[in-house]
Structures are given as structure tokens and as C-alpha cells.
Amino acid sequence: MEYLDIINAQTNILAIIESLKFTVDELREKNPERKVFIQGMEKHLRQMNETFLIFKQQSKEFDTLQKMNFNFHKENMELRFEMEKLKEINANLMNGI
């Protein structure tokens, strides 16, 4: 997942949330008698807010895991390099150099 894709998804979710807020406010103002419809929209708004919070949390966890993966990969490469050096030293010792 690319960083720009994550930002784009967050922006899209926030745009939907703002659109729902605007719609709910407009319905309350212009059609307060449509209570069932307003309540349904409010439910969707709460769900989108929860979705956004979970998405943000998952994005942070993904970022942390990417950093950990990079660090493990770096450590693995360093250990492989060290192992190759030790193999060379060992071969030289076995050959009497």
C-alpha cells in the first residue's frame, strides 16, 4: 500500500463524513418531520466516523510494521555480510594463512 493511497483513502472518508454532516444538518433544518430518515443518516455518520478512526489506527499500525520490516531486513543483511566475512576468515585459518 502506497502512502499516497492511504492519504487519498483518508481524504475520501473525511469527504463522505462531511457530506453526511451537511446532509443531516440540512435535513434537520428543512425537513425536521423526517425523523426516521434523519436518524438513519445519523447512524451512517457515526459508522463512518468509527470507520475513519479504525482506518487511521490500521494505517499507523501498517506504518509501524513497515518500519519494523525495514529494520529486520537491514539487520538480516548486516548479519549476512558479517557471516560472509567470518566464512572468509575461517577459510583462511583452515588454509593456514
pLDDT value at 1 more than 80: no
Q: Which domain holds residue 82?
A: 3-94
Residues with Cβ within 8 Å of residue 17, at least 6 apart in sequence: 45, 48, 49, 52
| 8 Å CB contact between 52 and 17 | yes
Per the document, the length of the chain is: 97
pLDDT tens digit string along 14-62? 999 999 999 999 999 999 999 999 999 999 999 999 999 999 999 999 9
Note the pLDDT of residue 81: 97
Residues 44, 21: contact at Cβ < 8 Å? no
- The CA–CA distances, whole Å, from 83 to 69, 72, 76 equal 21, 16, 10
pLDDT (0 to 100) of residue 97: 67
- Structural domains counted in the chain: 1
**pTM of the predicted structure, to 2 decimals:** 0.72
pLDDT given at position 33: 94
